[in-house]
Structure 1
Amino acid sequence: MQTTFPRLLLQHAQARPQAPALREKVYGIWQTLCWGDLAQLVRHLACGLAEAGLRRGDHLVVVGENRPRLYAAMLAAQSLGAVPVPLYQDAASTEYVFPINNAEVAFAIVEDQEQVDKLLELRTPCPQIARIWYDDPRGLRHYDEPGLAALDALIAAGSAWDRAHPGFFDQEVQAGRPEDVAAMFFTSGTTGNPKGVVHTHFTLLDRANAGKSFDKLTADEEVLAYMPLAWIGQNIFSYAQWLACGYVVNCPESAATVMIDLKEIGPTYYFAPPRVFEGLLTSVTIRMEDASRIKRWMYQAAMALARRVGPAIMDGQPVATLDRLKYALGNLCVYGPLRNTLGFSRVRVAYTAGEAIGPDLFTFYRSIGINLKQLYGSTETAVFVCLQPDHEARADTVGVPIEGVEIRLADSGEVLVKSPGLLKEYYKNPAATAEVLTADGWYHTGDAGFIDSGGHLKIIDRAKDVGRLMDGPNDGAMFAPKYVENKLKFFPHIKEAVAFGDKREKVCAFINIDFEAVGNWAERRNLPYAGYTDLAAKPEVLQLVRECVEKVNADLAHDTLLAGSQISRFLILHKELDADDGELTRTRKVRRGAIGDKYKVLVDALYGGRNEQFIETAVKFEDGRSGSVSATLKIVDAKVFPTLRKAA
């Protein structure tokens, strides 16, 4: 698409100035910002930034939750030809040092006092930070720091600048080109420093429009923006496609009110990683377990029918008339109210991506009438590579290549992609760019997969993570850790898992229980506990998890390629894996290497045949304090099964 984000904004403002563009919930009340007012806000912010010294090609850091004025700040920077760099709002200040120095950032616009404090801490390691503007003034009244000011002051200064230079803003917008850099997103940095992924207006808008065409999106859609701005997925769904389609983006009041706000808005177009859908289903399961016997019976009977015929009805397949009538009754009494409780009563299209989603979880949502589908993409591909057509949604694939995308498989099994949405480069990292982009335009995804007979892409694991077992009964067998971990996480009682086995004789695993789900399970059995560490060590919980592990093993035994990846031994960690402790990325991907190094004593105990192991771990608490957690962890042997199907 031969345009830019600011030009699209002005087109919407001119065509329908009073139509809602953004909503934000403030003190329990939804406030609406129309396209005309948004364009005026962006104009004043851009003029204020220009007066402050932001120039074409400069970088502007944006940190905070989804807020209309932060969206406007990104558009303002793009209007000047500058490049917004969103960073994760929940990251520690030290995690900002590399991106800020790498991008030579001098200006930042942040949400509130928390983010101001973090950036002020960085003035020694990042001395080039000259100006910081904040959106929410609460707690900042008595701050007296050079270069620190309220966003309102920037807007006022920009308004005055606009009056003094009436043609400036429009000239700057018109000077922008589709091939200009539009934004930079830093990768998770699972190994080493994160990389700045550079995208142009063209790459982002091309993929946004490809997704728009695929799902027939219109200006009538409603979207809830609650994932981090720094995540490319949030940016595509709530920024690039927002401007491409002109629909309404709704910003929740806070992370704590997302579920309430979801029900109030009733989005028509929804996107979330599997863990969000898992959390919603866990909450439903807990509520039903606490319901009366009659309600439980009605729910179980209705869901049994839904699992049998719901997906077929969703896919437009023939279903017996009697079953259709029963399903209609179930929709009236159970499925409809359940969709409403979840906030999905108006959802037309829902997507999940980032990790594999469990078949049971996937089937649950589709069986109750929610058009949940999977997609495949990454930061480097501007998300949209493969999408699932409405009547071809399956739990074991990630869809078909969409408009403009070509896929081929390397001899190693790695998936290669050619697309108009590919990154321009990794910022200041030509070596890394050359590693992933070939001279003839193919991008190395790093994922191992294959195309099935229906033309759908199936992803097995990260190519670099696929290993081999050695020296045991399964010598030479393939080991796909992420595949195994995802199968474990399909169970509502397991939140995270880390599998080990490459170049070892067997597979062992660390497991995190889901504290809420297992806590509710324990309470219904009158099993007392005093926190996560105590609950995780209960013999009953160990047995519960053991049953989950053995179900995974039984399933793996049917897979000729991965039967050797069955888990022989496991332990339940004494603490939840945490991004603040360097164990997860900000997008909640496990740092397998870092975890293996940090908990080497536990890995050695698993493979050394021990039955228990003492461990003490330093942790960071939410309030910033440091402490430690210690426990003696039980190591559990799990049953493994013989391969049940041989290769043809």
Structure 2
Amino acid sequence: MQTTFPRLLLEHARARPTAAALREKEYGIWQTLTWAELATLVRHLACGLAERGLQRGEHLVVIGENRPRLYAAMLAAQSLGAVPVPLYQDAAATEYSFPLNNAEVRMAVVEDQEQVDKLLELRPTCPQLSHIWYDDPRGLRNYDEPGLQALDALIERGRAFDTNNRAFFDTEVGRAGPQDVAAMFFTSGTTGNPKGVVHTHFSLLDRAAAGKAFDRLTEHEEVLAYMPPAWIGQNIFSYAQWLACGYVVNCPESASTVTIDLKEIGPTYYFAPPRIFEGLLTSVMIRMEDAGRFKRWLFRHFMEVARQVGPDVLDDKPVGTLQRLSYGLGNVFIYGPLRNSLGLSRVRVAYTAGEAIGPDLFQFYRSIGINLKQLYGSTETAVFVCLQPDHEVKADTVGVPIEGVEIRVADSGEILVKSPGLLKGYYKNPEATAEVLTADGWYHTGDAGFIDAGGHLKIIDRAKDVGRLQGGPADGAMFAPKYVENKLKFFPFIKEAVAFGDRREKVCAFINIDFDAVGNWAERRNLPYAGYTDLAAKPEVLQLMRECVEKVNADLAADERLAGSQISRFLVLHKELDADDGELTRTRKVRRGYIAEKYQVLVDALYGGKAEQYIETAVTFEDGRTGSVAATLKIIDAAMRPLLKKAA
């Protein structure tokens, strides 16, 4: 798409000035911002930033939830040829230090007091950070810090500047071209410092347009923006595609009201990582367990009908008359109310990405009439590489290469991609850029996989994580840790898992229980508990986890290539893995190497044949305080299925 983000904004404002561009829920009421109002806001913000000295090519950090005025701040920066850099709003202050210094950031626009406090804390180590503007003034009335102001003050300065320089804004917007840098996204940094991924207007908008064409998106779509804007997945769906399509983006009041807001908006185009879909299903199953006997029977009966014929009905495949009638009844009594309860009754297209989604979970949503599909991409590819076409949806693939994309599989099994959406490079890191981008334009994804007979891409694991077992009966067998971990996380009782086994004779695992799901399970059995650590150590819970692990082992045993990856021993961790403790990235990816090092004593106990192990772990609370959690963890042996033949 040969244009820029600000030009698209102005085109929408000229063509549909009174149409809704953004909605924000405030004090329980949805407030609408039209395209014309948004264009005026961006104009004044851009003039205000220019008056304060923001230069072309300079970086502007933006931190907060999805908020219309933060979106406007990004557009304002782009209007001046500056580069917005969204950062994760839930990150600890120290996590901002590297991006701020790496990108030499002088100015930041943030949502509220929490983000202001974090940035003020960093001023000694980031002395160049001279200007901070905040959107929400609550709690900031008595702050008196140099360079700290409300966003309203910046808008007022911009309005005055615009009055005296009427041609300035339009001239600046006209100076930008499609190949200019439009945004920078910092990777989650599973190892070492995060890398700044540099994208142009063209790379982001070309992929947004390709996704638009693939799913026939229009300006009539409704989208709920509730994931972090710093995650490129959310940024593409609620920013790049928003401007490419001109649809309405709705911003929830808060994280705690997302479920309610989802029902009120009824999005037609929906995107969420697997953990969101897992959470929605877990809440459904918890409610059903608490329902009466007849309702439980009705639910199970019609869900079995849905499992058998639902995906075929959705894909317009032939279905028997009686089965179609039964499914129709199920739609009246179960599926329709369930979709409405989930807030997905109007969804035309739903996507999931980021991690593998369990086949059972995936088929559940499709069986009740939700057109859930998978996509494949990354920060470096502007998300859209492969998408699943309607009527060609498979649970074990991530779709076909879309317009403009070429894929090839290296001899090592690594997926290589050539696409108009590839990054321009890693900021100030030519060595890292050279590692992933070849001279002839191929991007090394780091993922291992293959193209199936139907042209669909199937991902196995991260290429660097795929290993081999050494010694023992499964000597030489392939070990794909993420595949094993995802198998475990398909159970609603398991929230996170970390598998170990590369160059070892057997596979062992750490497990995090899902506190809500297991808590509800325990309460229905009159099993008392005093918090997460106590619940995770209950013998009944350990037995529940053993049953889950042994079901996974049965599934793995049926796959000749992965039968050796059955889990021999496991333990249930005494605390939840947490990004604030460095165990997960901000996108909730497991930092396996860090965890193995941090919990080396537990890994040694698993492989050393111990029956239990004492551990004390430092933790960081939400308010920044630190403490510790200690427990003696039981180590459980799991039954394994015999290997039918030795893996090659």
| Deviation (angstroms), 1:623 | 1.9
Q: Is the 8 A contact 2:474 2:647 kept in 1?
A: no
Partner of 2:312: 312
The separation in 2 between residues aligned to 1:556 and 1:325, in whole angstroms, is: 37
The aligned counterpart of 2:596 is 596
Q: Which residue of 2 aligns with 1:423?
A: 423
Cα distance, 1:315 vs structure 2? 1.1
Deviation at 1:628, TM superposition (A): 0.4
Separation of aligned partners in 1, 2:642 and 2:503 = 21
Q: What residue in structure 2 maps to residue 607 of structure 1?
A: 607
**TM, length-normalised to structure 2:** 0.99
Q: How does 1:241-390 map to 2 (within 5 A)?
A: 241-390=241-390
Tell me the residue number matched to 2:8: 8
Matched residue SS, 1:390: coil
**Partner amino acid, structure 2, of 1:643:** L
- The CA deviation string for residues 203-246 of structure 1, in whole angstroms up to 9 with x for no partner, is 00000000000000000000000000100000100000000000
Counterparts of 2:395 and 2:518, CA distance in 1: 25
User: Contact between 1:559 and 1:645, CA under 8 Å: does it hold in 2?
Assistant: no
Alpha-carbon offset, residue 624 of structure 1: 1.6
Deviation of residue 645 (structure 1)? 7.1
What's the CA shift for 1:297? 1.1
CA distances 1:607-635 after superposition (whole Å, capped 9, x unpaired): 00000000000001112211100000000
Share of identical aligned residues, percent?
Answer: 83
CA distance in 2, matches of 1:258, 1:111: 18
Task: Give the Cα–Cα distance (whole angstroms) in 2 for the partners of residues 565 and 192 of structure 1.
Answer: 28
Secondary structure, in 3 states, of the residue corresponding to 1:295?
helix
CA distance in 2, matches of 1:635, 1:645: 28
Could you tell me whether the CA contact under 8 Å between 1:19 and 1:34 is conserved in 2?
A: yes
Per-residue CA distance 1:503-531 (angstroms, 9 max, x = gap): 11110000000000000000001111000
Query: Residue by residue, what CA displacement relative to the aligned partner does 1:35-85 show, whole Å, maximum 9, x if unpaired?
Result: 000000000000000000001000000000000000000000000000000
Secondary structure of 2:585's counterpart equals coil
Counterpart for residue 535 of structure 2:
535
Aligned residues of 1:237 and 1:271 also touching (Cα < 8 A): yes
| Equivalent residue letter for 1:511 | I
Question: Are 2:205 and 1:239 aligned?
Answer: no
**SS of match in other structure, 1:580:** helix
- Where 1:568 maps in the other structure, the secondary structure is strand
Instruction: Please report the TM-score for the alignment, with normalisation by the length of structure 1.
Output: 0.99
SS in 1 for 2:33: strand
Q: Tell me if the contact between 1:584 and 1:591 (Cα under 8 Å) persists in the aligned partners.
A: yes
Output the CA distance in 1 between the equivalents of 2:337 and 2:349. 19
Task: Name the counterpart of 2:519.
Answer: 519
- Aligned partner of residue 459 in structure 1, secondary structure: strand
Contact 1:466 1:478 in 2 (8 A): yes
Letter in 1 for 2:550: E
- The amino acid that maps onto 2:400 is V
- Confirm or deny: 8 A CA contact 2:25 2:252 kept in the other structure: yes
8 A contact 1:467–1:480 mirrored in 2: yes
CA distance in structure 2 between the partners assigned to 1:316 and 1:126 by the alignment:
58
Q: Deviations over 1:319-347 (max 9, x none)?
A: 00111111111111111010000000100
Match of 1:554 in 2: 554
Question: Which whole-Å CA distance do the structure 2 matches of 1:69 and 1:414 have between them?
Answer: 41
Report the equivalent of 2:94.
Answer: 94
Partner AA of 1:210 in structure 2 = A
How far does residue 471 in structure 1 lie from its aligned partner after superposition?
1.8
Match of 2:407 in 1: 407
Q: Displacement, 1:170? A: 0.1
- The CA distance in 2 between the partners of 1:329 and 1:505, in whole Å, is 52
Q: Distance in 1 between matches of 2:636 and 2:330?
A: 42
Q: How does 1:117-128 map to 2 (within 5 A)?
A: 117-128=117-128
For the 8 Å contact 1:558–1:645, the answer to whether it is kept is: no
What SS class does the counterpart of residue 412 from structure 1 fall into? coil
Deviations 1:478-514 (A, max 9, x none): 1110010000000000000000011111100000000
The one-letter code sitting in structure 1 at the alignment partner of 2:315 is D
Matched-pair contact (CA < 8 Å) for 1:466–1:479: yes
Q: Give me the whole-angstrom Cα distance separating, in 1, the residues matched to 2:322 and 2:595.
A: 53
Counterpart of 1:3 in 2: which secondary structure? coil
Indicate the SS of the match to 2:351. Answer: strand
Distance (whole Å) between structure 2 residues aligned to residue 348 and residue 292 of structure 1: 32
Matches within 5 A, 1:205-244: 205-244=205-244
Shift of 1:643: 2.9
Q: Please say which of residues 636-645 and 99-108 is displaced more in the overlay.
A: 636-645
The offset of 1:644, in angstroms, is 4.2
Aligned pairs, number: 648
Q: Which residue of 2 aligns with 1:578?
A: 578
> Shift of residue 647 of structure 1?
8.2
In structure 2, list runs of 5 or more residues that go unmatched.
none
Aligned partner of residue 213 in structure 1, secondary structure = helix
RMSD across aligned positions (CA): 0.9
1:170 corresponding residue in structure 2 = 170
Q: Following TM superposition, by how much is the alpha carbon of 1:646 offset from its aligned partner in structure 2, in angstroms?
A: 8.0
